[in-house]
């Protein structure tokens, strides 16, 4: 349902009436200008459940951000901001983190939220359901609640990225009284979530929509401003473009719109388009190379591939300009980026010369090497990018076979190291120690996704990654990561292509949509419609 | 030609072949269930990998736990016998992806699916017979040309394109109908208002889906009417002085309907499967999309459940079609 001007004015009137009741706060702020209204937004694909502690898909996170609370959130520069934790302190040795929680926070069923819920989530819930959080919090020696509004994390070793792990996807605080002693995967609350955030779950009609309504008992007085948020599940890209253009929805994010539609809508004065709000994720689209066998185990061969791909073409023609040419493993949108590394300009001549130097002669068909590239089955964009890579590499005599399958088939090939090249774009999660080094350190060579599946191993990189993770001084940490980036680009086990950008498009009446580095996954407790 | 009313459909003589057919049907369904089981498991990749791919991080212990939860750590034969034991007791299993019983998951999609495909079925059948009949009777005339050309165009048009064009015309340009959805969200309608609202949402997807089949039925019906009109019994009827309408209604139509009934029987069996394309374009919460998602997520139990329900429905509709033949064309009864 779209709010018409008249309905909206009516809502403002009723909101004005509520205002009088709120005068006791002594606030001069006119709530009447901001309260009320229903936001309709696109959600796709439909998540299997609504609990971000159990399911890590981005749509789940979009919903969970409104329903649940995390201790912290992060600004565009990925500096921590208060959320459920109003303040925090770190001990001088970098091993003890103390968080003070907001008072008067209640679960949607009326029970009080206490430090006990946080301890329960970290020690009993996440280790079972979220491998990424498990790996981070396994660094804790103890997690305790000295009083109902204080949580203390004691680390075994200093971990410089630790303060980056308190976002809604990593540590969403779960209600202990609902989950303790139950099967966490099967608990009915995963489908009718009971959180503590600004919006409450009302209804989920599968295949159609998810309806959230204002939490009247939210701990921030007068907030949230919206009466309700309805997430519409619209599986077709063309229909999503019609939906926002015609006003059935007022907000789209991530890959909801085809990039050419986004490019077009960005020019429409009815909408605001921004690419901010993805800093916490900041994926780099890259071509990784399984370095275990010849010829990919030869640095010169990998250089040749890197020289043969025109990164600007990929950004401009395949990503419709949404992105920035990447120079190395850490995104410039996140922290500790250093662009002072070996450069790979687009040059077929240099690439061919490198292959000649290796002694890789073209056979009777003009082919110097044959490689397998399983195509990531996530829509048109990766398919087009893989086609482009095949054509580019053909120019230097490398014959690439594209292998198509669905998500499960693709994941199986990658996890089992059964590939030569792979185009992918993992999230960086705000800190190299969490989202980047996992892909390169030799201790993380495993037969699972998002590990070092390429089999890259360099003791110096391992040492730098460990040292940087434990280094509490930001300046020294930067120096370690700069060194690591230099070595990684020198070795080039991966051809880093483009730092991806995603369009968030919304109705221009909508305010405060993207205010932090996690963007539309925020709680939306300050989002409102301007009259 | 005999009257419809003077033969009872379920006379004892008819019951025996029907029972034989039902017995065969059960056998076929079980064979299909076993075949489906191996088909589904033959696809590379397992649910743990899909979940890991969406999670952005994973570890071996987590993968093992997911596989154990799905029963994927058991040998395939154990999984098969477990599955068959459930099928026999009509237990459809448990969707590990959605963490709910499969029967419940399917049931909530069944209503919207049948509403959509049923409406489209009626539109296509009625429209196809009427237009095709008209074209056949007036073969070679202007109205025949118009109907034939239009049905050819519709038949040759990809259904997703047709859907998008109808949305652009009726929802975007004219703003008569909503572009997608199943009903107005958050309106809390009830009774007639609710059904009227749903009707508005139903019209575009049902028309899009119906048009394709309408074109097929119209072409079938036209060809069939033309063929029948040259047969001896029609000539005889005309010779004995029967009027145009009597020849058409009493003699030609019933005979001409046979191929349409065959086609409709096949289509009716697939009604329950919904339509992935239409449901996707119009964001319709039907079984087609559910099936597609279940395949991508390797939700084996859900997938097998959907397949089983579909195979049962197809078998039942085949039976019904066979019985209908006997009503439409009495000669088939002796076969």
How far B270 CA lies from chain A's nearest CA (Å)? 20
pLDDT along chain B (335 residues), means of 10: 48 72 88 90 80 71 81 86 85 83 91 91 93 90 92 89 90 89 81 89 92 90 90 86 82 85 82 82 91 87 90 84 76 58
Residue linked to tokens 């119906």: B210
Is A236's CB within 8 Å of B184's CB?
A: no
**Cβ of A189 under 8 Å from any chain B Cβ?**
no
Q: Do B99 and A191 touch (CB under 8 A)?
A: yes
Residues 40-99 in B contacting A (C-alpha not used; CB under 8 Å): 43-47, 49-63, 65, 69, 97-99
What is the predicted pLDDT for the residue at B8? 53
Instruction: Give the closest of A211, A242, A245 to B185, CB-based.
Output: A211
- Pick the residue from chain A with its C-alpha nearest to B70: A185
Of residues B58, B168, B297, nearest to A449 (C-beta): B58
Contact A207 B60 (CB under 8 A): no
On chain B, the residues whose CB falls within 8 A of the CB of A415 are 49, 52
What is residue B120's predicted lDDT score, i.e. its pLDDT?
Answer: 92
H or E element that contains A38 = strand A38-43
Q: Which residues of A touch B109 (CB under 8 A)?
A: 206-207
What is the pLDDT at residue B21? Answer: 83
Residue B149: half-sphere exposure toward Cβ, Cα within 13 Å: 7
Q: Which residue has the tokens 């770190």?
A: A90
Q: Over its length of 531 residues, how does chain A's per-residue pLDDT go in tens digits? A: 344 444 444 444 444 333 333 333 333 344 556 889 999 999 988 998 899 999 888 999 999 999 999 999 999 999 999 999 999 999 999 999 999 999 999 999 999 999 999 999 999 999 998 888 999 999 999 999 999 999 999 999 999 999 999 999 999 999 999 999 999 988 999 999 999 999 999 999 998 999 999 999 999 999 999 999 999 999 988 899 999 998 999 999 999 999 999 999 999 999 999 999 999 999 999 999 999 999 999 999 999 999 999 999 999 999 999 999 999 999 999 999 999 999 999 999 999 999 999 999 999 999 999 999 999 988 889 999 999 999 999 999 999 999 998 888 898 899 899 999 999 999 999 999 999 999 999 999 998 888 999 999 999 999 999 999 999 999 999 999 999 999 999 999 999 999 999 999 999 999 999 999 999 999 999 999 997
Q: Is B104 in the A-facing interface, judged by CB distances under 8 Å? A: no
**Under 8 Å between Cβ of B311 and B321:** no
Q: Does A207 touch chain B (CB under 8 A)?
A: yes
Terminal Cα-to-Cα distance of chain A (whole angstroms): 17
Strands A38-43 and A228-233: parallel
Sequence-ordered list of residues with C-beta below 8 angstroms from that of A211, at least 6 positions apart, any chain: A202, A203, A204, A205, A228, A229, A230, A231, B185, B186
Name A506's bridge partners: A251, A272
User: Which of these, A378, A469, A56, lies nearest to B57 by C-alpha position?
Assistant: A56
Nearest to A73 by CA among A137, A161, A200, A164: A164
DSSP-derived letter for residue A471 is -
CA–CA dist A401, A390 (Å, integer) = 8
Helix (H) or strand (E) holding B316: helix B300-328
Residue A341 per-residue DSSP state: S
Does A248 sit within 8 Å of B69, measured CB to CB?
Answer: no
Separation of alpha carbons A87 and A177, rounded Å = 25
pTM over 0.80: yes
Query: Taking the CB of residue A116, how many other CB atoms lie within 10 A of it?
Result: 15
Strands A398-404 and A369-375: what pairing? parallel
Calpha distance A373→A404 (Å, rounded)? 9
Residue A214 touches chain B, beta carbons under 8 Å: no
Q: What is the DSSP letter of A192?
A: S
| pLDDT score of A210 | 96
Q: Over the range B123-141, which residues count as b (16 or more CB within 10 Å of their CB) and which as e?
A: bbbebbbebbbbbbbeeee
Structure tokens at A359: 């002694």
Res A25: pLDDT = 38
**pLDDT on residue A27:** 37
Q: Does B283 touch chain A (CB under 8 A)?
A: yes
Tokens, residue A193: 């979530």
Facing residue for B108 by CB, picked from A45, A130, A206: A206
Is the minimum CB–CB distance between B189 and chain A shorter than 8 Å? Answer: no
**B187, A405: Cβ pair inside 8 Å?**
no
Q: At what angle are helices B191-229 and B102-137 packed, to 10 degrees?
A: 40
Asked if the C-beta of A55 comes within 8 angstroms of chain B's C-beta atoms, the answer is yes
What's the Cα-to-Cα distance from B22 to each of B26, B28, B269, rounded to whole Å?
6, 10, 16
CB contact under 8 A, A446 and B59: yes
d(CA A85, CA A117) in angstroms, rounded, equals: 13
Q: What is the C-alpha to C-alpha distance for residues A514 and A89, in angstroms, rounded to an integer?
A: 27
């Amino acid at each position: 349902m779209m709010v018409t001007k008249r309905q909206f004015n009516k809502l403002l009137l009723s909101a004005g009436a509520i205002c009088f009741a709120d005068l006791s706060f002594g606030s001069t702020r006119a709530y009447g200008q901001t309260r009320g209204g229903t936001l309709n937004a696109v959600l796709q694909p439909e998540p299997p459940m609504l609990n971000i502690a159990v399911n890590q898909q981005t749509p789940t996170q979009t919903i969970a951000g409104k329903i649940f609370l995390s201790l912290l959130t992060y600004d565009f520069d990925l500096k921590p901001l208060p959320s459920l934790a109003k303040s925090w302190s770190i001990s001088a040795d970098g091993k003890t983190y103390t968080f003070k929680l907001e008072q008067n926070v209640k679960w949607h069923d009326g029970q009080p939220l206490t430090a006990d819920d946080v301890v329960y989530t970290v020690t009993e819930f996440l280790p079972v359901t979220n491998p990424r959080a498990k790996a981070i919090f396994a660094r804790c020696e103890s997690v305790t609640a000295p009083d109902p509004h204080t949580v203390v994390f004691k680390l075994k070793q200093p971990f410089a990225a630790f303060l980056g792990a308190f976002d809604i996807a990593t540590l969403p605080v779960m209600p202990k009284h609902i989950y303790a002693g139950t099967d966490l995967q099967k608990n009915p609350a995963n489908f009718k979530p009971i959180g503590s955030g600004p919006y409450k779950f009302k209804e989920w009609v599968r295949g159609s929509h998810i309806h959230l309504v204002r939490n009247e008992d939210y701990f921030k007085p007068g907030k949230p401003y919206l009466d309700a948020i309805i997430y519409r599940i619209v599986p077709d890209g063309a229909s999503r473009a019609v939906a926002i253009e015609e006003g059935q929805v007022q907000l789209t994010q991530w890959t909801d719109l085809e990039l050419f539609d986004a490019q077009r809508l960005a020019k429409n004065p009815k909408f605001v388009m921004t690419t901010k709000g993805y800093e916490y994720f900041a994926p780099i689209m890259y071509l990784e190379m399984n370095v275990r066998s010849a010829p990919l185990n030869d640095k010169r061969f990998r250089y040749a591939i890197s020289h043969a791909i025109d990164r600007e073409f990929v950004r401009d023609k395949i990503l419709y300009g949404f992105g920035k040419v990447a120079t190395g493993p850490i995104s410039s949108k996140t922290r500790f980026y250093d662009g002072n590394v070996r450069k790979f300009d687009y040059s077929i001549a240099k690439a061919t010369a490198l292959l000649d130097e290796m002694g890789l002669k073209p056979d009777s068909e003009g082919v110097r090497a044959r490689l397998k590239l399983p195509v990531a089955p996530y829509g048109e964009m990766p398919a087009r990018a893989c086609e482009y890579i095949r054509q580019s590499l053909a120019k230097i005599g490398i014959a690439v076979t594209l292998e198509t399958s669905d998500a499960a088939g693709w994941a199986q090939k990658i996890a089992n190291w059964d590939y030569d090249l792979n185009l992918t774009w993992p999230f960086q999660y705000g800190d190299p120690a969490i989202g980047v080094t996992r892909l390169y350190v030799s201790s993380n060579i495993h037969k699972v996704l998002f590990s070092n599946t390429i089999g890259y191993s360099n003791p110096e990189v391992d040492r730098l990654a460990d040292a940087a993770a434990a280094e509490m001084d930001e300046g020294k940490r930067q120096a370690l990561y700069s060194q690591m980036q230099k070595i990684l680009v020198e070795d080039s086990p991966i051809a880093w292509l483009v730092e991806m950008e995603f369009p968030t498009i919304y109705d221009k009446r909508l305010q405060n949509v993207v205010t932090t580095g996690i963007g539309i996954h925020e709680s939306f407790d300050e989002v409102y419609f301007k009259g | 030609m005999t009257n419809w009313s003077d033969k009872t459909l379920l006379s004892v003589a008819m019951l025996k072949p029907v029972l034989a057919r039902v017995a065969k049907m059960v056998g076929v369904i079980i064979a299909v269930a076993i075949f489906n089981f191996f088909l589904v498991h033959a696809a590379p990749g397992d649910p743990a990998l899909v979940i890991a791919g969406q999670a952005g991080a994973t570890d071996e212990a987590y993968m093992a736990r997911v596989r154990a939860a799905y029963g994927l750590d058991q040998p395939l034969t154990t999984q098969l016998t477990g599955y068959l034991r459930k099928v026999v007791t009509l237990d459809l299993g448990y969707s590990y992806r959605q963490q709910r019983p499969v029967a419940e998951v399917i049931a909530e999609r069944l209503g919207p699916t049948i509403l959509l495909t049923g409406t489209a079925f009626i539109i296509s059948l009625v429209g196809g017979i009427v237009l095709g009949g008209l074209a056949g009777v007036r073969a070679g005339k202007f109205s025949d040309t118009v109907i034939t050309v239009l049905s050819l165009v519709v038949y040759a048009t990809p259904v997703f394109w047709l859907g998008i064009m109808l949305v652009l015309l009726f929802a975007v340009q004219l703003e008569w109908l909503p572009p997608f959805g199943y009903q107005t969200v958050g309106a809390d309608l009830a009774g007639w208002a609710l059904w009227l609202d749903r009707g508005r949402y139903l019209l575009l997807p049902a028309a899009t889906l119906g048009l394709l089949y309408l074109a097929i039925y119209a072409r079938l019906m036209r060809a069939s009417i033309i063929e029948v009109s040259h047969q001896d019994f029609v000539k005889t009827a005309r010779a004995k002085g029967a009027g145009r309408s009597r020849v058409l209604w009493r003699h030609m139509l019933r005979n001409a309907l046979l191929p349409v009934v065959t086609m409709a029987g096949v289509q009716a069996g697939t009604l329950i499967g919904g339509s992935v394309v239409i449901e996707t374009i119009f964001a319709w919460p039907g079984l087609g999309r559910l099936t597609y998602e279940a395949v991508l997520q390797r939700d084996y139990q859900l997938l097998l459940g959907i397949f089983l329900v579909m195979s049962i429905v197809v078998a039942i509709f085949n039976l019904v079609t066979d019985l209908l033949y006997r009503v439409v064309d009495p000669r088939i009864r002796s076969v």
